[in-house]
Structure formats: structure tokens, C-alpha cells
Chains A and B, each alone.
Chain A
Amino acid sequence: MNLLIIQHRRCTTSARYPARLFALLSQFLWILPGTVSLAATPDTMTVAAASAAIPRLADGHPDFAGIWTNKSVTPLQRPAELGEKAFFTAEDAEAFRQASLARRDRDNRTNDVNDVLNAYNDFWWDSGTEILPNMRTSIIVDPVNGRMPALTKTREAELAAAQAATAERCRQSGCAINNGGVMAPAYAPEVLDLMTRCISFGTTVPMLATAYNNNYQFVQSAGTLAINTEMVHQVRRIPTDNSAHLPSQIRQWYGDPRGHWEGDTLVVESTNFIGRFYGNMQAADENLRVIERFTLSSPDILLYQFTVEDPTVWQQPWSGEIPLTRTDGLLYEYACHEGNRGIQNILRAARQEMKAAAP
């Protein structure tokens, strides 16, 4: 059985690259005797079995079709007290998991306006209850401390200046506590954050989990991978033909993704970002470049690896990985903008406050 499947795969692979026929032919001849005596070479058998078992498209490339989730209690950044400890033991993992769940579900009422922002417990969250199956202590794997690298001096100064300007503006009326928990202008849509405007929940590039709706439907055909992100129904349409990026004057909220295959791994490069983000990527600017790698490590685990580069923002690139797991059930439409009453109330309150304060 293995022998046949391996031959099928070689066949389709080599046919797509006729110029490499002879190179593959020699590989093929080398593998053939190996597969005949599988029992004697357990490593070969494991690799062959794993790569043969994954679903494939007619063109021979892996088929990522399905609904995947990235939710977990594994933090993006490793808690500082864990230092360079990259992996949990089973005991550590359970303790960390319990502590995370307890913190998330605690009664955090403060009997002031913050109760509006913090009025969420585990009834509302759907951000995962398990450690990722790789047992890592953080999603970030590089730098070795598992944390985002330092900002460049210039970016640090820019963000500090923006923060100071916000604080200065909010000495006057027209501000409200934003989703980050700080006072920020709230009198016009364009000064509000992207989540409040239903433009982005920061879940898309790279694919990092948030409070809920952490579901991604992959639909694939020859030359295209579509990733339907449940959160605010964002579809990434990724050409897998190594085509060129859009001209640099075309900027997109979610960047311009371009993919190519490296063996059974789909590598996707995204550039051309507008440069405004929500959530974990908030510090990034228009020079952001994200490289993502998708590899089916088994039929039910899609290894997702990413590297983030933005030379005007971070002093060095940083990388992370999330083994995506298959999830039962379907994706449902999240019509965020169409039902956005929240933004109307935020604007109304801020504008009324400004009107009342006007001389």
C-alpha cells in the first residue's frame, strides 16, 4: 500500500516539473528498494506513512481543506518568569492551564466604568481551554525568550509621541476608555480602533487567536488557497502560483498574500499592508512583511509557522508556531459591521459630551 502511494506522489510531483525528471528518477530508484524492506528502516516508514496519509489535491499538493482552530491558553509571549524554558512538562502545563482559566473567569468587577469593558467571563470567551499540542510555553519561538523583540528607537519614540498626544487630547471631552483600557478619542469613526469599526480583530495575518470565533475554513483548488476567517468574515485569497505582489501603491488592510510550494509546505509572503492594525500587531507599520508556512504534519494537525519582519518597528524579526487542530462544526456568518450598534452609542456619547462642554 505504501509503495503504491509513494509512487503516485512521485509521479505527480515529477510530472509538474519535467525538467527535474532525472533528479527525481534517481530519488525514486533509491526509495524503491527502501520501501520493499520497510520493516528494516522504521524512520523511512514513518516519514513515508505520514506524508502518504495526508489528503492531496489532484495536482499532488497537500489539501488543507477543513475547518481549523488556533485557540488555546498558550500565550503569544512567554511569561517573563519562565525565562528560556521553552516547553512545559505535563505537570507544569496543567498548572498553567488551570491558573489561566481561573484568571480568565474571575469576578473582576470594580464598580466603575471599567465594568463595561471587563464584563466578560468564560460564558463569553471561546479562546481555548487547552495548551497547544506542541507543549510550548509561548507561541513565539524566536527570540529564545519567547517574547516580541524590542522596538526600534524611532518606533518607540513615535508610539510614545502618539500616546502623549492622545493623553493631551483626552484632557478635553470626546474620549472614552478604548478596548486597550486607556482613554482615547471616540468622537469620529476614523479615530476609533479597527475592532470597534469591525475592520479587524487582529486575527488574520498572522493568524493569532482572540476572544472568540477562532475558526478558519480552508478551501483549496489548484493554484488557490482560500482561508475564510470567521471573525468578521475576512477571506484571504492566496494564489499558490508564486505570482508577483500587487504594485506597491495598492495597500490592503490584510496585506497581499502570495504563496508557493516548498515540497509539501505552502509558504506565503504578505506585504503591501495599509499599516494600521488591531491587537497583537498594533505596533506594526506599512513595512510589515509576514512569512507563513503551512504543513500538514498529520491529517488532523496543520502546523502553522510564521515570521514577522518590520525593520522600522522591531529590532529583529520574530517567529512563532501554532499547530492548528481540526474542529467539528461549521463556520457561521459574523456580520459585525451590519449590526454595529456599539459604534453608534460610542459616537453618540462622545459627541454629546463635546456638545455639552462647548461654550
Chain B
Amino acid sequence: MQRSVLCSVFGSAFGSLLLLPALVQAQSAAASTPDLNGIWQAMNTANWELEAHAAEAGPIASLGALLAVPAGVGYVVEGNIPYLPAALEKRQANRLQRWTADPEIKCYMPGVPRANYLPYPFQIVQGSDTILMSYEFADAVRTVHMQDPGPAPANSWMGWNVGHWEGNSLVVEITDQNNQTWLDRSGNFHSDKLHVTERYTPMGSDMLLYEATLTDPEVFAAAWTIRMPLYRRKEANAQLIEFKCIPFAESVLYDAIGR
């Protein structure tokens, strides 16, 4: 606002009236596209388990309450994830070995949508034709192409991300993820046929409504949706700090090799 007033003064003072319509146009174009820039974080227990769950003991008895699992009311709009029968069995098997098999243990890139509700912040940098989502965990990153980049050349951990605006919402279609990531620490999973449609809708200046609809013909009987708010980190010095977890995971990954 201060800028536009000063600009008007400048503009009229020097008779460059032609400049003003262009300036006004640029500002209104900018106003119609929500500004998602900032550092965001989920504040819930979805990463422990997407479905409703009670609190329970953690994986290491000697740590007592530390690392115990906090309860959650559930973040699946439909209540439960509509697994196909065989996939449900696999989910149960995953759950039994969750303290060793969860890829989060290995510092692997977390995939989408899990990246957005890990207990670490992520930063959205909204550029002119590209939106970068940069995650503190494992330096994961995804480039949301706002112009069609063509087909993905291969599967990847963070998928092929193509975005567009629908009214006030950023909509991102994510395809071509590999089948190596999980959806939470409880063994919820997907195949490489997963298709995620994300919607980021500003709810005031410091909150985004985050919705992710998942379809996967090999794992789910129907589409289902995760819904949760993402909150802006408001500390004056809020910033992403390196969480390069490779050194933290090397022992669990490599200690047994060759011994």
C-alpha cells in the first residue's frame, strides 16, 4: 500500500500516466493468486497413524513415556482407509514390523502426502512459474510445475508434481511415485499406481486447509481423502534448519553388513 501511494506520487509527478494502468493490473493479478510463501507444519499425530488411534507405549521400554505414541482422532475424511483385502493384510504385516521397516527410519525421502505431516516444517517458495516445496526432513524437495512439463521420465520418491489454481486453491496432481514410501509410522502404504490430488486452500493468513485425495487401484477399493490444517510457523526467526539425517541412519542401515 505504501508502495502504491509513493508510486502514484511519482507517476503523476512525472507525467508517466501510462505506467499506472500496468502497475494496477500487476497488483490485481498478484492479489488474485493466493500467496502460499512461508514455513508450514502440521500439528497433529497423523504421521504416527492416519486413522483414529489410542495412545500406546513406544518401541523402547527403557525410554518410558519418551517416544510413546500419542493418540489421534484421525485425519481420514471417510474414517477408515478403504483397503482391498490383500492390501489390508499387507498393512497389518507392515504394522507388525513398523519399528524396523518404516522408511522414515532410513532417512529416505518421505513421498507425498506424508512429507506434509511429518513432525518437521517445510517451506513453500512460490516463484513466477514454479512452486518449490522444500522439506526439513532428509532435504526432500519437490518442484510443482505450473506449466505442463510433459510425462515423467521415471518413478521417483517425491513424484511428478503438476499444479494449477482453482479459485483460491492450489491443486497439485502427483503421479509416478515409487512404491517404497509409507503413509505413516503404522504401516499404511501404497503402490506405484498411487495418484494424489492435493488442495492447498488459505484459511486466513496463517493457516492452509490441506486435502489430499488418494487413488490406487492396486491397494485401495475407492478414493479417500486426508484432511488437516497446516499452520504457519510464526516465530520471528522461523526457518528450516538442516536435518540431514543420513549420518543418523547409517548405523541402522549398515552395521550388520559384512559382519
Binding site for B on A (CB under 8 A): 3-4, 7-8, 10-12, 14-16, 18, 21, 28, 32, 55, 57-58, 63, 65, 189-190, 197-199, 217, 219-224, 226, 228, 232-235, 237, 239, 243, 246, 250, 252-254, 330-333, 335, 337-338, 343-344, 347-352, 355
Contact = CB atoms under 8 A, between A and B. Distances in A.
Nearest to B157: A335
Interface of B: 2-3, 6-7, 10-11, 14, 16, 18-19, 22-23, 26-27, 30, 37, 106-109, 123, 125-132, 134, 138-141, 143, 145, 149, 153-154, 156-158, 180, 237, 239-242, 244, 246-247, 250-251, 254, 257-259
Contacts of B143: 217, 219, 228, 330-331
Contacts of B140: 233
B257 A348 contact: yes
Given A11-B10, A199-B244, A217 B130 contact: yes
Contacts of B22: 8
**Most A CB atoms within 10 A — which of B3, B27, B123, B129?**
B3
Nearest to B131: A219
Contacts of A228: 132, 134, 141, 143
A239 B125 CA distance: 11
B258 A347 contact: yes
A338 B157 CA distance: 9
A63 to B, nearest CB: 6
Given A217-B132, A237-B240, 6 more contacts: A4-B19, A190-B247, A219-B125, A333-B156, A337-B107, A343-B254
Nearest to A192: B250
A219 B127 contact: yes
28 contacts: A7-B14, A12-B7, A18-B6, A21-B6, A63-B128, A65-B127, A189-B254, A190-B247, A199-B247, A219-B127, A220-B125, A220-B127, A222-B37, A228-B141, A233-B139, A237-B134, A250-B241, A252-B242, A252-B244, A253-B244, A254-B242, A330-B149, A332-B154, A335-B108, A343-B254, A350-B258, A351-B258, A351-B259
